[in-house]
Amino acid sequence: RDDDQIKVYDTETFAEVATLPADKPSGIFFTARAHKIGL
């Protein structure tokens, strides 16, 4: 989010598969939300 890009990961291997440019992405990308149970 802070680097103006979105990284895409393979959910089985956790390997990064793509990096996409994005102008100030927001939403579910915030670190605080990533650690909440149920998300």
Q: Where are the domains positioned within the chain?
A: 1-38
Instruction: Give residue 24's pLDDT.
Output: 76
pTM over the 0.85 mark: no
pLDDT at 27: 60
For residue 7 the two structure tokens come to: 């990284």
Contact present, 3 and 23 (Cβ < 8 Å): no
What's the confidence (pLDDT) of residue 22? Answer: 85
Amino acid at 35: H
What is the rounded distance in angstroms from the CA atom of residue 23 to the CA atom of residue 13?
A: 27
More confident residue, 31 or 18: 18
- How much is the pLDDT for 18? 95
